[in-house]
Structure 1
Amino acid sequence: MSATLSQEPLVALLGTPNCGKTALFNLLTGSRQKVANYAGVTVERKEGSVPLPSGRRLRLLDLPGAYSLNAESEDEVVTRGVLLGDVEGERVPDLLVCVCDATQLQLNLRLVLELKKLGQPMLLALNMSDLAEKQRIAVDLQRLSELLGIPVVRTVGVRRGGANELLQQLDAAGLTAGPRAPAKWSPSSLDDIVDTHKQVRHLLEQVVQSPSLDRRWDEPFDRLLLHPVAGLAILAAVLFCMFQAVFIGAEAPMGWIEDGATWVGEWIGAAMADGPLRSLLVDGIIAGVGGVLVFLPQILILFAFILALEDSGYLPRAAFLLDRFMGKVGLSGRSFIPLLSSFACAIPGIMATRTIPNRHDRLVTILIAPLMTCSARLPVYALLIAAFIPTQTVGGVFSLQGLVLFGLYLFGVLGAIVVAFVLNKLFGRNEHHPLLLELPAWKLPNWRNLSLGLYERAKIFLRRVGGIILTMTIVIWALSSYPLGADGKPLPITESFAGMLGKWIQPIFAPLGFDWQICIALVPGMAAREVAVGALGTVYALSAEGDAVEAALIPILAQQWSIASALALLAWFVFAPQCISTIAIVKRETQSWKTALGMTGYLFALAWLAGAATYQIAVWAGLG
């Protein structure tokens, strides 16, 4: 049902970034959410249904975070537009719920005072009240409510029952759905801003009691972590440890999954007679899907680090730390978090560029985001590293395989830096504006949020395994098994449709040392990077004879490939275009097929050159 036709009251949830607004939205709505885009723009629109204690329901709209109605970024423009009735298909909310971080009222109250001037019904939710109590920050809610002239409630967005008081207040408000007149608003002048700061100071003096803020307990940590030299060294060490853990911590569970897949394949192979169905199950599905599923532990370890760093408050500090360096290649520190998000998947990373107010910086960030190594590339990296890099330590401490993985991620980052520098030269470099960023308070990661985040990532990965990867694996099996010979039996795989396709495109990749089997894997790898592993598993399972059919893929590759070819394939995947979904999202975000196809073209060229150079150098070094 559209926003204008719904008979349920519409409540808008808004606040500054890092105030816990989205956590509160998730607590209130649970799984009763639907996500779309606002008309004409790429800003995400999140709406949920909230049951009230009385049994009535209301619609809750999670507006993008904004520091002020004097908007800069596309997200902030949408937030202001919804409040003023300027967004197509969106009616003016019946009530505003402004979420404030109870530990950072001096930053959040400015937005509250701006919203009050709109004259719309409003309620203030003091979120993170539990953290405020731990920091001995006392807020007089009744006095604050009297001074502001609006209801004020406490909330804890990460705790069950943390929004009960808010729900009761919403229920008591007796909201009804109906058309409301748009508010009137004009940009704040310098005098208005100064006056707002004075009002905030007056409110704080009246309602907040807290320990002396002359010296915060975390200042020594911030001085160290934000130091231009020590901070960068610590950031590099954190990322290095993350990649070490990906290999060291995942070794045992990967072995369990691999043994399980091998056992299932052997059991089915022994229980069924030879034929197409047995070949599909053993050589196709189990060899292909099982070869991808084995990398789930590594993906979960990688995401555990990223989610913990995000929840602790370290990521905004890393963005601030890298601002000066990124400015030298024409980017701002705001590009850091979208680029870091791209290590998980380029799609949310590209969508996160909406928070970058400068259109030039946003475009360059979008174009280099695919160079960040997404989690879909991890199975390919892990497979080739396990096959060709020995399991030994360097200096008695560091895993050589972990070092190589770290190097691949670093290679992608360095490539992105060079590309950003070149793009800025081509587009005309803008003046670098220093980054102004609110640093959230340090906190221990919330284990419930971390567990839910890992559960969601595992569900997404398994859905891909059961969807696109399974489908493409079956397609590869069919192409590798047909046509049949005159006697009705499968021909050698070299004479199959897949073999013919691989041989047809192999001359293009001959300078990279790729044989026809590798070329076959590159084609479905465009649908999803992990499919390349499944495709190799299927192709080599069908190529094998006798007991070798059930053999693991890693020793097969180690035996049949040269180190030079493996290194060239790693270099190819560092720079190769992302999946088709990423290309589509670039088109949607930039509103330009020219940009999306141009990005795809430069990535293909870069990947081919990197792979060819790597192969030729490796052959020259005697690794061919």
Structure 2
Amino acid sequence: MSKPRKIALVGNPNAGKSALFNALTGARQKIANYPGVTVERKSGRLVLPSGEPVEMTDLPGSYSLDPTSPDEAVTAKVIRGEFVGESAPDVLVVVLDASNLEQHLVFAQEIIALGKPTVVALNMVDLAERDGLVIDPMALEQALGIKVVPTVAVRRRGLTELAEAVAAAEMRHPGPGLTDLTMTERRVAAHAMADAAILSESKRHRLHARLDRVLLHPWMGPIILFAFLFVMFQAVFAWATPFADALEAGVALLTDGVKGIVPPSLARDLLTEGVLAGVGSVVVFLPQIVILFFFILVMEASGYMARAAFLMDRMMAGVGLSGRSFIPLLSSFACAIPGIMATRSITDPKDRLTTILIAPLMTCSARLPVYAVIIAAFIPQRSVGGGIGLQGLVLFALYVAGIVGAMAVALVLRRSVTKGAASGFIMELPKYQLPAAKDLLIGLWQRAWIFLRRAGTIIFMVTVVLWLLLNFPRAGRGENQVDVSIAGRIASGLSVVVEPIGFNRDMALALIPAMAAREVAVSSLATTYAVAATDDENAQAMALGDQLKAKWTLPMALAFLAWFVFAPQCMSTIAVTRRETNGWKWPLFMMGYLFGLAYIAAGATYWIAVEAGL
């Protein structure tokens, strides 16, 4: 008795293959793994209208027969008959998402070019119709040279017609112009086919297409993206100032209240100089954090974030990175920890390692309080023309410096320790939509709570420890408390190392607890100056920014900013890197090169600023 013919469903992820497979096979399914890999194999039994039983397999979603993941490798090998223990399918059913026709036609051409018996299932036509798209299946048939059957799997529409087409599918020669095409040529052909097959579309769909033509333009797209980011950083200062001032006044009022209620003692000093000065100096930057994430959430919810990834792919490919690295790096702008963990989706080990090693260079939200306090203290709050604020311009430059540094490091790594070819990257672009106010508010609350929780835990604990180290042993008459303290002595030893790059003892002291979290540098400086000002009423009344201006020069401040662009001041990031790389080799390498870059950048910035007379 001959074995039943094998039918394979193939297509891009999210094309509705699984729904179509379930509709065709019902409960007659077997689920296991392909031999030797952890990729799931789903097969089932289908009876054709002629009564012929066939075995149907739902192959893993794929974008190309040139695999970039284990799933795609299995699909490519099974289709070509190269998978050990798995015979090649007799008929291929290419499943297309009718509402995303152009993208799915790229892979369809590659499948059809194989010359195997093939049928196209134009799936989810109901969703396309809902969006105002009317598609002519006959036009697609003419362009592709094979049978095209409209289907709605969840409503069981077109299943009989599809089964009949599968039964009638025959070997044939690929249509003219479908073989030996490059990816770019297939994309051009897919665009032409989709245009010819779409009879009508809604105003909304046409608007989205026009937006993409502008926002994804090779030249205009990046300009618009960087303009958006520029406005975002301008807003971080311009919009946040009144709220930050109000919070700062609230912290000062609370401090005065504690001093008025609690009698002079070490306990009062701990509350005012330690907790309120340290934690309060970080909390006042909550408005900047909220505004920054407001823009990020709007980009995500509107569908623009994915398009930003598409625009950045070309630049990343230029430094040897896969486009798959963009999402982890993008996540690192919030925090490097989830960004590093997100590299698990990168299949190439060298590509993944490179992404892990440069993720800390993305300007995470923990750097923002450090940047904000230094910029507010030393950069004048004035316009440089056209309503562009100088403070926002400097903040934008710091973010760009991190990105440029990451790309430069990636370029070096991909040509040395992680040498290898970059893999391709294909992604589907979501539809544009207006962000829901409720979702934005929930997202902002979650991120604000994370920031406040860090302030109430990590920053609080580090601040208390630092205050204790700054206050013991107690200074004698005529002695400076910071000079004789444990923390002061440690900082004096470290300052020998950082003096050549313009750092004083207070700056050196801030670097030590900031290894717990970057924003602790702000609370450390606030606590240090609060302790140092114990016997000086005028100094006690000064805000942290005023204290910095009194004790630092502009070159010192710029050097401090340059240090934080590169320095890996986060033990949690180092710990996650150790876990993700299964050892200490690469975390130590990462710390070494990042501290080296930070030292060189800070030193160069300081001496250039000094020579320039700043």
Flag whether TM exceeds 0.5 (same fold): yes
Say which of 557, 562, 568 aligns to 1:566. 557
| 8 Å CA contact retained: 2:133, 2:202 | no
| 8 Å CA contact retained: 1:502, 1:520 | yes
Alignment of 1:456-467 (within 5 A): 456-467=446-457
Task: Out of 317-326 and 577-586, give the one that drifted further.
Answer: 317-326
| 8 Å CA contact retained: 1:16, 1:108 | no
Deviation at 1:133, TM superposition (A): 4.1
Say which of 589, 595, 613 aligns to 1:598. 589
Say which of 591, 599, 620 aligns to 2:611. 620
Deviation at 1:101, TM superposition (A): 8.7
**Corresponding residue number in structure 2 for 1:329:** 319
Alignment of 1:58-207 (within 5 A): 72-73=68-69, 103-104=99-100, 133=130, 135=132, 144-145=155-156
| Letter aligned with residue 343 of structure 1 | F
Aligned with 2:415: secondary structure?
helix
| 8 Å CA contact retained: 1:526, 1:580 | yes
Deviations 1:569-601 (A, max 9, x none): 000000001411111111222223101110011
Deviation at 1:103, TM superposition (A): 4.7
Change (3 A) 1:17 1:239: farther
Q: Distance in 2 between matches of 1:147 and 1:231?
A: 40
**Corresponding residue number in structure 1 for 2:190:** none
**Corresponding residue number in structure 1 for 2:570:** 579
Q: Distance in 1 between matches of 2:387 and 2:466?
A: 41
| Letter aligned with residue 616 of structure 1 | W
**Corresponding residue number in structure 2 for 1:36:** none
**Corresponding residue number in structure 2 for 1:539:** 528
Q: Distance in 2 between matches of 1:212 and 1:249?
A: 40
1:340 aligns with 2:296: no
Q: Distance in 2 between matches of 1:433 and 1:77?
A: 13
Change (3 A) 1:143 1:421: closer
Aligned with 2:430: secondary structure?
coil
Q: Distance in 2 between matches of 1:370 and 1:265?
A: 35
Q: Distance in 2 between matches of 1:278 and 1:403?
A: 40
Aligned with 1:393: secondary structure?
coil
**Corresponding residue number in structure 1 for 2:187:** none
Q: Distance in 1 between matches of 2:15 and 2:547?
A: 49
| 8 Å CA contact retained: 2:506, 2:525 | yes
| Letter aligned with residue 581 of structure 2 | T
Q: Distance in 1 between matches of 2:254 and 2:71?
A: 50
1:530 aligns with 2:525: no
Q: Distance in 1 between matches of 2:128 and 2:532?
A: 60
Change (3 A) 1:148 1:555: farther
Deviations 1:122-163 (A, max 9, x none): xxxx99x999746578999687336669xxxxxxxxxxxxxx
Identity %: 48
Q: Distance in 1 between matches of 2:320 and 2:154?
A: 48
Change (3 A) 1:443 1:567: same
**Corresponding residue number in structure 2 for 1:320:** 310
Deviations 1:176-226 (A, max 9, x none): xxxxxxxxxxxxxx99xx9xxxxxxxxxxxxxx995499843222212212
**Corresponding residue number in structure 1 for 2:500:** 511
| Letter aligned with residue 504 of structure 2 | D
Q: Distance in 2 between matches of 1:213 and 1:136?
A: 7
Aligned with 1:510: secondary structure?
helix
Deviation at 1:443, TM superposition (A): 1.3
| 8 Å CA contact retained: 2:360, 2:568 | yes
Alignment of 1:445-460 (within 5 A): 445-460=435-450
Unaligned runs of 5+ in 2: 1-11, 17-36, 38-59, 75-95, 109-122, 136-149, 161-171, 179-197
Deviation at 1:336, TM superposition (A): 2.0
Aligned with 1:284: secondary structure?
helix
Q: Distance in 2 between matches of 1:486 and 1:375?
A: 41
| Letter aligned with residue 604 of structure 2 | A
Deviations 1:396-432 (A, max 9, x none): 4100000000011111111111111111111364334
Deviation at 1:448, TM superposition (A): 2.1
Deviation at 1:68, TM superposition (A): 7.9
Deviations 1:70-102 (A, max 9, x none): 984479899xxxxxxxxxxxxxxxxxxxxx999
Q: Distance in 1 between matches of 2:72 and 2:246?
A: 48
**Corresponding residue number in structure 1 for 2:601:** 610
Alignment of 1:442-521 (within 5 A): 442-485=432-475, 492-521=481-510
1:371 aligns with 2:357: no
1:349 aligns with 2:339: yes
**Corresponding residue number in structure 1 for 2:381:** 391
Change (3 A) 1:148 1:269: farther
Q: Distance in 1 between matches of 2:98 and 2:276?
A: 53
**Corresponding residue number in structure 2 for 1:123:** none
Deviation at 1:363, TM superposition (A): 1.4
Q: Distance in 2 between matches of 1:540 and 1:131?
A: 64
| Letter aligned with residue 583 of structure 2 | S
Say which of 250, 274, 281 aligns to 1:291. 281
Q: Distance in 2 between matches of 1:465 and 1:74?
A: 42
Deviation at 1:439, TM superposition (A): 1.4
Deviation at 1:358, TM superposition (A): 2.4
Q: Which structure has the larger Rg?
A: 2
Aligned with 1:344: secondary structure?
coil
| 8 Å CA contact retained: 2:282, 2:369 | yes
| Letter aligned with residue 375 of structure 1 | S
| 8 Å CA contact retained: 1:587, 1:593 | yes
1:411 aligns with 2:422: no
Deviation at 1:498, TM superposition (A): 1.1
CA RMSD of aligned residues (A): 4.0
| 8 Å CA contact retained: 2:333, 2:364 | yes
Change (3 A) 1:363 1:482: same
Deviation at 1:353, TM superposition (A): 1.9
| 8 Å CA contact retained: 1:307, 1:453 | yes
Change (3 A) 1:132 1:383: farther
| Letter aligned with residue 266 of structure 1 | D
Q: Distance in 1 between matches of 2:269 and 2:330?
A: 41
What count of residue pairs does the alignment treat as equivalent? 483
Change (3 A) 1:305 1:74: farther
Q: Distance in 2 between matches of 1:326 and 1:136?
A: 34
**Corresponding residue number in structure 2 for 1:261:** 251
| 8 Å CA contact retained: 1:572, 1:608 | yes
Change (3 A) 1:69 1:420: closer
Unaligned runs of 5+ in 1: 1-14, 20-40, 42-64, 79-99, 112-125, 150-189, 195-208
Deviation at 1:324, TM superposition (A): 2.2
Aligned with 1:427: secondary structure?
coil
| 8 Å CA contact retained: 2:474, 2:481 | no
Aligned with 2:359: secondary structure?
helix
Change (3 A) 1:18 1:609: farther
1:281 aligns with 2:247: no
Aligned with 1:375: secondary structure?
coil
Deviation at 1:355, TM superposition (A): 2.3
Q: Please give the TM-score of this superposition, normalised by the length of structure 2.
A: 0.71
Alignment of 1:35-74 (within 5 A): 72-73=68-69
**Corresponding residue number in structure 2 for 1:59:** none
Q: Please give the TM-score of this superposition, normalised by the length of structure 1.
A: 0.70
Deviation at 1:66, TM superposition (A): 5.9
| Letter aligned with residue 569 of structure 1 | F
Q: Distance in 2 between matches of 1:334 and 1:416?
A: 15
Deviation at 1:548, TM superposition (A): 2.5
